């Protein structure tokens, strides 16, 4: 039984630690020079760039990245949510995945939830 797919959305795709991630592009304010104090549960990021995310009442926060892959439109035929039984075991910011043509996956993360779990650093 397949879980219900989310609707089509625009994703920002990026890499950290050899893994490819995707997130709702609407949550990204800009790509900016990385603050050396910025950290993320996804990994430290090795480039000098970071995604700047609007964290609501907490202001803007950075997610360090290794590489910005780009922006894509993801249709519901390629998006999958995590199965219910896995949600409590996985990183709380992990939402699901996007199936790639080459039998690879892009892990989908909730950037706002991710940055609220990390210490504050200036954007």
Tokens for 75, please give them.
Answer: 């249709």
Give the number of other Cβ atoms within 10 Å of residue 3's Cβ.
Answer: 11
Task: State yes or no: pLDDT of 6 exceeds 60.
Answer: no
Higher-confidence position of 33 and 43: 33
**Strand 28-33 relative to strand 19-24: parallel, antiparallel, unpaired?**
unpaired
Nearest to 80 by CA among 95, 66, 101, 67: 95
Q: What is the mean pLDDT of residues 9-25?
A: 92
Beta carbons of 8 and 77 less than 8 angstroms apart: no
17-21, 58-62, 84-88, 100-104 — which is least confidently predicted? 84-88
At residue 29's C-alpha, the angle toward residues 45 and 97, to 5°, is 60
């Amino acid at each position: 039984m397949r879980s219900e797919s989310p609707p089509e959305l625009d994703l920002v795709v990026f890499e950290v630690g050899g893994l490819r991630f995707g997130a709702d592009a609407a949550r990204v304010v800009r790509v900016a020079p990385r603050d050396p104090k910025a950290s993320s549960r996804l990994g430290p990021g090795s480039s000098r760039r970071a995604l700047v995310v609007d964290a609501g009442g907490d202001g803007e926060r950075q997610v360090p990245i290794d590489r910005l892959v780009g922006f894509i439109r993801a249709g519901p035929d390629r998006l999958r949510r995590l199965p219910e039984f896995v949600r409590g075991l996985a990183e709380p910011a992990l939402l699901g995945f996007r199936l790639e043509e080459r039998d690879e996956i892009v892990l989908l993360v909730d950037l706002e939830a991710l940055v609220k779990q990390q210490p504050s650093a200036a954007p």
